[in-house]
Amino acid sequence: MSNSVIDRAARATPTVVAQKVKGLSDRAIAWIFVAPTIFILLAINIFPLIWTIYLSFTNFRVNRPNNAIEWVGLRNYERILGDADIWMTMQATAHFLIWTIVCQVVIGFALAYLINKKFKGNDLWTTIIVFPMMLSPAVVGNFWTFLYEPQIGLFNYVVGFVTGADPSSFSMIGEVSLAPWSIVIVDTWMWTPFVMLICLAGLRSIPDSIYEAAECDRASKWRQFWTITIPMILPFLMLAVLFRGIENFKMFDLVVQLTGGGPGNTTTLTSIDLKREAFEKWRTGFSSAYAVILFVTVFGLASIYVKALNKVKQR
């Protein structure tokens, strides 16, 4: 913590209070108040991070407390980066992340745009649309497992009805080519309303006067959309992308419930794989290295993204 912050805290301390605590300077009193917070932050954020980094260079297994911890250098990192299966999980995660964000932003924005038009019953529609995101992911996963059931599932029945295909001839969560899309569909169904709400807030924050001015200048609706709506809502869209990106990078419960990571490794996302390494195989050292790699990746990408977001906001 910088001295200036402490000084500001000291200056903010009422003189009467400071005088009552004899023998203690204002700076000391400030430290007394701030220290517990600093300690808690160090204990729950910094220490685990440092400890994880240390463990990532060892062969430690948490279920073998009697074994000596051996320093293995970069072996865990070499194994991870050379493991084709881990690269497959990264690929599956990237696929999930990109498609869910694209679908949710496009559909969410479209829904917000429609809902923003004043029409009878739009509040009711908003409530109905928002309903899926109020459910627990585990419940949603279970629910959709039944919908995807080839013989009795409504999803297959509807697809069969529309296309004329035999509903039992395909399995959304059982086939390699369909399973990644099955999780994208469910996540989109569940979280598009969240993006819609952010976009709706953005749309409602645009002053009507801007559109009225554009109308006076005889700008077409299309031109108003591209020159007013999109630029003004862009920070909101980017914020939605950031939230959904972070959420979906750590996606676990929904996918475990739906596909269990299968078939094969098709829908094994990094969070699922990391959990298996850490808490099923109990390879603590290995999984620490895995976590460090993911942390660096996400931190790097998020930093770049936040810089871009700030630039857009400043425009």
Partner 1 sequence: MNSAAAIGLMFGATAGAGSAQAADLTLCWAAWDPANALVEMSKDFEAESGHTMSFEFVPWPNFADRMLNELNSGGKLCDLLIGDSQWIGGAAENGQYVKLNDFFDAQGIKMDDFLPATVTGYAEWPKNTPNYYALPAYADVVGWTYRKDWFSRPEIQAEFKEKYGRDLDAPKTLEELKQVGEFFQGREIDGKKVYGAAIYTERGSEGITMGVTNVLYNYGFQYENPDKPYDLEGFVNSDGAIEGLEFYKALYDCCTPPGASDAYMSQNIDAYKSGQVAMQMNFAFIWPGVEADPNVGGGKSGYFANPAGPAGQFAQLGGQGISVVANTENMDAALEYIKWFAQKEVQQKWWDVGGASAMRAVVEAPGFAASQPFAQTFLDSMAIVKDFWAEPSYASLLLPMQQRVHNYVVAGNGTAKEALDGLVKDWDEVFEDEGKK
Q: Binding to partner 1 (CB under 8 A): which residues in 202-261?
A: 256, 259-261
Closest CA to 243 of 69, 100, 144: 100
- 157 is an interface residue for partner 1 by CB under 8 A: no
Main-chain phi, psi angles of 308, to 5 degrees: -65, -40
User: With binding defined as CB under 8 A, does residue 265 bind partner 1?
Assistant: yes
Residues with Cβ < 8 Å from 193, sequence gap 6 or more?
108, 111, 129, 130, 131, 132, 133
* Residue 58 per-residue DSSP state: B
Burial of 96 (0-12, 13-18, 19+ CB in 10 A): buried
Figure out which of the listed residues 108, 150, 193, 202 binds partner 1, where binding follows CB under 8 A.
150
Residue corresponding to tokens 């109308």: 215
Interacting residue with partner 1 among 13, 116, 126, 171 (CB under 8 A): 171
Residue 295's alpha-carbon distances to 67, 224, 271, 287, in angstroms, are 28, 41, 12, 12
Residue whose CB is less far from partner 1, 79 or 95: 79
Per-residue mark of binding to partner 1, 42-81 (x: CB under 8 A): -----------------x--xxxxx------------x--
Nearest Cα to 192, choosing from 144, 131, 239?
Answer: 131
Is residue 160 near partner 1 by the rule CB under 8 A?
no
Q: Would you state the torsion angle of the CA atoms of residues 225, 228, 234, 235, taken in this order, to the nearest 10 degrees?
A: -150
In the complex, minimum distance from the CB of residue 77 to partner 1, in angstroms, rounded to a whole number:
15
- Binding part of the chain for partner 1, among 9-17, 165-173, 221-229, 231-239 by CB under 8 A, reads 165-173
CB nearer to partner 1: pick between 13 and 168:
168
Give the shortest CB-171-to-partner 1 separation in angstroms. Answer: 4
Residue 244 corresponds to which amino acid?
Answer: R
Give the number of residues in contact with partner 1, rule: CB under 8 A.
Answer: 35
Which one of 13, 52, 126, 168 is in contact with partner 1 (CB under 8 A)?
A: 168
Residue 174 interacting with partner 1 (CB under 8 A): yes
> Candidates 5-13, 222-230, 231-239, 264-272 — which segment interacts with partner 1 by CB under 8 A?
264-272
The residues pairing with 71 across neighbouring beta strands, listed in sequence order, are 58
Tell which one of 280, 311, 314, 315 touches partner 1 (CB under 8 A).
280
Q: What is the largest CA-CA distance in the chain?
A: 86
Binding site for partner 1 (CB under 8 A): 59, 62-66, 79, 85, 148-151, 168-171, 173-176, 256, 259-266, 276, 279-283
